[in-house]
Amino acid sequence: MIQTVRGVRDIPPEESGRWLFLEACARRVFAQYGYRELRTPIFERVELFSRAVGETSDIVEKEMYVFEDRGGDALCLRPEGTASTVRSFIETSRQRSLPWRVCYMGPMFRYERPQKGRFRQFHQLGCELFGPEGPLADAEMMALVLRLLQEIGIQSAVTLEINSLGCPVCRGPYREKLTAHLESVHDRLCGNCQRRLTRNPLRVLDCKEEDPALLRDMPQMRDHLCAGCEAHFQGLVGHLERLRLPYRINPLMVRGLDYYHRTAFEAVAEGLGSQNAVAAGGRYDGLVAEMGGVATPAVGFAMGMERLLLLMDAQLGAPIRPDLYLVVAGDGPVEAYGLELAETMRSAGLTVEMHLTGGGMKSQMKHAGRSLAPLAVILGQQEAEARTVTLKRMETGEQEGLSAERLIGRVLTLLGRTDASSAE
């Protein structure tokens, strides 16, 4: 027997209704803010991610699915969504004016240790906004994120955290100050941080191994912002206050790479263990230039769909049920009559599950019950000959006989979907 690969899974039909619900909420909210979907390829050149995500990041060093195709090109499965969006923006930027708002959703791939809610094929959705550089855009994007969390019913379980990462003007001097401080506490840092102290000192701040008290005493970016960055941060805070969006400043939130500027934000959930961010975003004003395009400010976020689904009420996006179940008690002509009726009803917009595997009335009614359809249409020899049907309401057990012509109108009435054009 061939099984799924370790760390990946099927999303069975019983669960896919919840995914559709989440995706539909996301599409609706994205559209409300003017975002349109960009669909990028699942695989890209390796260097796209080594430049965009960073040569020394865990993702690029250890987690990418890299392969050579038959032409000898070094390719990989996409581990995240932003890099492809930026590539697409640069490839087509001459043909369009700013701002450019795009959203995406779909599978991403990382070779990580599988655990609860974390898979090697996982799913993200996100938005990217190219052009605007002021805090207005950052605030709008956070409002979008919180609105989506509200739509799927988990806003109260989630806290918005924000920080400023400074800019090339103020980050250099801050980094020196931080490095000096880290050297003075070198022996108290974990082995990993001791190694990256000079290469990437900022990442020490979000290391989960360190003593929280030690981290609290570190010099913080927020106290070393230049005038421009301070004004940007205050502007953002002002917008969040005006919109009454709840937030918390987290001075230890960092990003490891130079092209992240100013705003960083996360939506953090309780009860998800160390993987507690359901959304992560911020400004990456330096990334388009880093990737070879004309310098363009940009802000974006990504959300892990598996984590969102873990937090969502299990009742949301219940399995899809048919409008009616078609019971076919007979063979040959009865089945042909049933098939024809089912198609006629589908043409009228109804969802119909037809019984295809024979068996007696009793067992077919059992299937009808399991389908959760509110109505059953029962066909036998008599009905086929007279072109009539027996319509049964599953909840009350009430039955009525009627002609095939009147069936659709009656079904629509019982489902509460009548309109002028479908009067009985």
User: In degrees rounded to 5, what are phi and psi of residue 271?
Assistant: 80, 15
100, 34 Cβ separation under 8 angstroms: no
**Binding to Zn ion in span 395-414, by CB under 5 A:** none
The C-alpha atoms of residue 266 and residue 255 are separated, in whole angstroms, by 11
Which range, of 76-84, 207-215, 238-246, 251-259, touches Zn ion by CB under 5 A?
A: 207-215
Nearer to Zn ion, 168 or 369 (CB): 168
Nearer to Zn ion, 71 or 191 (CB): 191
Contacts of 370 (CB under 8 A, 6+ apart): none
291 near Zn ion, rule: CB under 5 A: no
Q: Which helix (DSSP H) or strand (DSSP E) does residue 31 occupy?
A: helix 13-32
- Of these, 46, 226, 291, 348, which contacts Zn ion (CB under 5 A)? 226
Nearer to Zn ion, 110 or 261 (CB): 261
Which range, of 219-227, 246-254, 345-353, 354-362, touches Zn ion by CB under 5 A?
A: 219-227
Nearer to Zn ion, 166 or 304 (CB): 166
**Binding to Zn ion in span 158-187, by CB under 5 A:** 166-167, 169-170
SS3 277: strand
Helical spans, DSSP H, in 152-253: 168-184, 191-196, 212-216, 227-242
The C-alpha atoms of residue 192 and residue 399 are separated, in whole angstroms, by 72
| Chain position carrying tokens 């049964």 | 392
**Helices and strands of the chain, counted as H and E runs:** 15, 16
Minimal distance in Å, beta carbon 176 to Zn ion? 15
- Of these, 141, 152, 229, 267, which contacts Zn ion (CB under 5 A)? 229
Residues 236-275, one symbol each (x = binds Zn ion by CB under 5 A, - = not), give ----------------------------------------
Nearer to Zn ion, 126 or 201 (CB): 201
The C-alpha atoms of residue 159 and residue 172 are separated, in whole angstroms, by 30
Residue 300: count of CB within 10 angstroms of its CB: 24
Tell me, by CB under 5 A, how many residues bind Zn ion. Answer: 11
- Of these, 193, 254, 277, 303, which contacts Zn ion (CB under 5 A)? 193
One DSSP character per residue, 234-275 reads HHHHHHHHHTT---EE-TT---SSTT-EEEEEEEEETTSTT-
Nearer to Zn ion, 193 or 287 (CB): 193
211 near Zn ion, rule: CB under 5 A: no
Nearer to Zn ion, 210 or 323 (CB): 210
Which range, of 81-89, 218-226, 317-325, 408-416, touches Zn ion by CB under 5 A?
A: 218-226
209 near Zn ion, rule: CB under 5 A: yes
Minimal distance in Å, beta carbon 139 to Zn ion? 19
289 near Zn ion, rule: CB under 5 A: no
The C-alpha atoms of residue 134 and residue 49 are separated, in whole angstroms, by 27
Minimal distance in Å, beta carbon 208 to Zn ion? 8
One DSSP character per residue, 373-405 reads -SEEEEE-HHHHHHTEEEEEETTT--EEEEEHH
Return residues touching Zn ion (CB under 5 A). 166-167, 169-170, 190, 193, 207, 209-210, 226, 229
